[in-house]
Amino acid sequence: MRTLQVFDPPLCCSTGVCGPDVPEQLARFAADVAWATQNGARIERFNLAREPLAFAQNPAVKDFLERSGAEALPLVLVDGALALAGRYPNRGELARWAGFPHGQIELKPAGNCCAGGGCG
């Protein structure tokens, strides 16, 4: 299985799904990441506000930031290669990049990732 790395813009917490006004795209992506990891995907997330060294120590990410700036985040790498920039991937993209067998994984939306208040 491939490794996906997501380099997030500065967020208030590890997922950005916190506080009273959560952007829909972050809530959807957090649910999709939870779904993908529950199905065996290897996904690492790095928050620019909390883990700036991860950005500085990765040559591809450092080069991207020097060219495009932090406002062009998020950035997604698949096995170290640039896969997507400027938006979060959808569930189908995560499944394809993770190497899930086509048609074997249900792509229906999961429930609320924050059920029970366990976001973070």
Q: Rounded to whole angstroms, how far apart are CA atoms 46 and 6?
A: 6
Average pLDDT over all residues of the chain: 85
Give how far Cα 23 sits from Cα of 12, 26, 79, 105, Å: 12, 5, 28, 26
Give how far Cα 90 sits from Cα of 67, 84, 102, Å: 25, 11, 15
Q: Rounded to whole angstroms, how far apart are CA atoms 77 and 18?
A: 25
> String of b and e for 38-58 (b: at least 16 CB within 10 Å)?
eeebebebbbbeeeeebbeeb
pLDDT tens by residue, 59-97: 999 999 999 999 999 999 999 999 999 999 999 999 999
State residue 23's pLDDT score: 74
pLDDT for 39 beyond 90:
yes
State residue 117's pLDDT score: 43
Higher pLDDT, 94 or 15: 94
Among 47, 22, 52, which residue's Cα sits nearest to residue 119? 22
State residue 103's pLDDT score: 60
Decide: pTM greater than 0.75. yes
